[in-house]
Structure 1
Amino acid sequence: MNELGTPVLDNHLHLDPEHGRGIEAVKDFARSGGTHLFVVNKPSWLLGVEAESGDDFRTVFDTTVDVVARANEILPGKAWPVLGVHPGLISKLVDDRGYAPADARDLMQAGLEVASEYVADGSALALKSGRPHYDVTDEVWDASNAVLRRALELGAETDCAVQLHTEGTDDLTDVAEWAEDADLAPERVVKHYAGGKLAGVTPSVMSEKERLTVAVERGEPFLMETDFVDDPDRPGAVMGPKTVPRRVSWMQEQGYDDGVQTAHVSTPERVYGVDTLETLSR
């Protein structure tokens, strides 16, 4: 067991072994008391991939699978890949590359279908999708929601959780209804970059003390994350890899032991089916 006496999971961060800190960030996380990671592939265009077919995303996914294997040599717990297509890609396709929204939708859905193959064969744990968090045209919004709904269907088909990048909101009951329509339990849908309260699906709370206090006092299932972007051009962007372990220590000091148990043991099991205690082996 680590010095914090509990599993410590960062539910959403990125690792870029070629351009960023990569494994050095994992070492920072582990030295600070971190044990488990859900590593989300970086947006395809940030890895230099201009996809034209679903299979073109394999390079992006393989990069994440490979860095997770290296992380597992370091962590006292375990890391898992979370693979998918960033919802911001639709704007890159429509605005920069001249795609029609329907064609962009089809390409992004094809990328998600490839990602689901990794989940099906055990190479990845969950899928990542969503919709833009900024203003878009009605056509792009509708296409984005079609992509999101396909991710929910694939989550149901492969029996896995789906992480979502969406607009800032504390109400995703519309997405919860879509999940139910797809036969995916809404609790297995996770809003990344969430505040402390959220209706409809499970929040992955950005690890700020104010948001965590709201989440703990609310008493509902939640996860914790940094959204570490591992981008050398944006060294201070979002949160660093030491943040979740440090916030867990702070939560323990505040007497929020139940909240720590919720975020790092019971919710990961409920949403992803992983046992962070059993996988904490050294």
Structure 2
Amino acid sequence: MEIEETPVLDNHLHLDPVQGRNTEAAEEFADHGGTHLLVLNKPSWHLVEAATDEGTFREAFDLTVEAVADATDVLPGRAWPVLGVHPALISRLVDEGYTPEEARDIMQAGLDVAAEYVTDGPALAIKSGRPHYDVDDDVWAASNEVMRHGFALAADGEFAIQLHTEGGEDFEAVAQWAEAEGLDRRQVVKHYSGGRLRGPTKSVLADKDEIETAIEEDDPFFLETDYIDDPERPGAVLGPKTVPRRVRWLLENGQDDAVRTACVETPKAVYGIDTEATLAD
């Protein structure tokens, strides 16, 4: 199979309509064979300011929704927004004098707004998680409460949730928390994952070794770059051309089934999207 014959999905990429390349990055993705993007809003303080109220969350979300619409115009397929609250917000709020409990309430309110954007139409899923760095026990506890609130929202609205968390391979407990809230663990997506993961669905950073591990594990997976669209860090984390290049590499090595898993079957199972039909359109 040739790359022109398949959808090519990057499951986690950022576009910055304020100071980044924005649509130009989506064009670069498309020029190298990419067709579909899931675009995560950048942390509110990168677009507007550290959110402390519903209005600021909406402002950041609206900027991302507009960026996604512009990206869709240049893609052979389309882009979808995934909106939520970056878990590092809790540290910013605590540093500004909020208690962990007050920060938790602000972040849960932000997730409530993100869930509205899914149920009302423009967004596909929400994002939550917990800090990937060491924090005090009370901040950790509050962060887990924020994440579990996200699980409850996703279960109630019957949509998926992407997680930004610490590294590691064993997130079985997190998947069980999601199930306790009524959410299918397949609809919990661990962003920035390695090729081996227990619990949620893995979104594998597009490193060749990790992709090979994911194929060996034979579980559903996505590919992602976590491109951050920061002009001061132009290739971080991976550039927008990376997933198309990895898909081409997989096809050249006879891994057609792996490409179908990452770009067609897992998106359909987790998000309910049809990357083939939207490519045909």
Say yes or no: TM over 0.5: yes
CA offset digits 1:132-151 (Å, max 9, x no partner): 01100000000000000000
CA RMSD of aligned residues (A): 1.2
Report how many aligned residue pairs link the two structures: 281
- Is 1:70 the counterpart of 2:70? The answer is yes
Q: Is the 8 A contact 1:54 1:112 kept in 2?
A: no
> 1:182-232: CA deviations, max 9, x gaps?
111001000000000110110000000000000011111000000000001
Q: Deviations over 1:103-130 (max 9, x none)?
A: 0000000000001000011110000000
Aligned partners of 2:50, 2:216: CA distance in 1, in Å?
A: 44
Q: Distance between the aligned counterparts of 2:4 and 2:211, measured in 1?
A: 18
More helix by percentage? 2
Question: Which runs of structure 2 are paired with 1:34-53 in the superposition (5 Å)?
Answer: 34-53=34-53
Following superposition of structure 1 onto structure 2, how do residues 155-170 of structure 1 map, counting pairs within 5 Å?
Answer: 155-170=154-169
- The whole-number CA distance in structure 1 between the counterparts of 2:233 and 2:212 is 28
Residue-by-residue CA offset, 1:38-74 (whole Å, 9 max, x unaligned):
0000001111323221232001000010011111111
Q: Distance in 1 between matches of 2:160 and 2:212?
A: 25
Once the two structures are TM-superposed, the CA of residue 235 in structure 1 deviates from its matched residue by 1.4
1:6-45 map, 5 Å: 6-45=6-45
Q: C-alpha separation between the residues in 1 aligned to 2:143 and 2:37?
A: 27
Matching residue's letter, 2:192? Y
Q: Which residue type is aligned with residue 236 of structure 2?
A: A
- Alpha-carbon distance, 1:158 to partner: 1.1
2:213 counterpart SS class: helix
Query: Is 1:153 paired with 2:152?
Result: yes
Aligned mates of 1:208, 1:99 — CA distance in 2: 39
Aligned partner of residue 106 in structure 2, secondary structure: helix
Q: Percent identity?
A: 60
Shift of 1:272: 0.3
The amino acid across from 2:35 in the alignment is: T
Cα distance in 1, alignment partners of residues 74 and 52 from structure 2: 35
User: 1:2 Cα deviation (Å)?
Assistant: 8.0
- For structure 2, list consecutive stretches of 5 or more residues without a partner in the other structure: none
Superposed displacement of residue 3, structure 1 = 4.4
The equivalent residue for 1:182 is 181
Q: Look up the match of 1:128.
A: 127
For residue 100 of structure 2, what is the aligned residue in structure 1? 101
Matches within 5 A, 1:119-268: 119-268=118-267
TM-score by length of 1: 0.97
Q: Secondary structure at the match of 1:76?
A: coil
Residues 190 and 203, structure 1, Cα contact 8 Å, conserved in 2: yes
- Within 2, Cα distance between the matches of 1:266 and 1:73? 24
- Deviation larger for 254-263 or 193-202: 254-263
2:81 is the alignment partner of 1:59: no
CA contact under 8 A between 2:44 and 2:57: conserved in structure 1? yes
Deviation at 1:256, TM superposition (A): 1.2
Please identify, of 139-148 and 235-244, the stretch whose mean Cα deviation from structure 2 is larger: 235-244
> SS at 1:277's partner residue?
helix
Gaps of 5+ in 1: none
Cα distance in 2, alignment partners of residues 138 and 53 from structure 1: 25
**AA of the residue aligned to 1:172:** F
Q: Secondary structure at the match of 2:38?
A: strand
Secondary structure in structure 1 of the residue aligned to 2:50: coil
- Equivalent residue number for residue 89 of structure 1: 89
Do the aligned partners of residues 43 and 229 (structure 1) sit closer, same or farther apart at CA in structure 2, a change above 3 Å counting?
Answer: same
- Given that 1:4 and 1:249 are in contact with CA atoms closer than 8 Å, whether structure 2 keeps it comes out as no
Cross-structure match for 2:116: 117
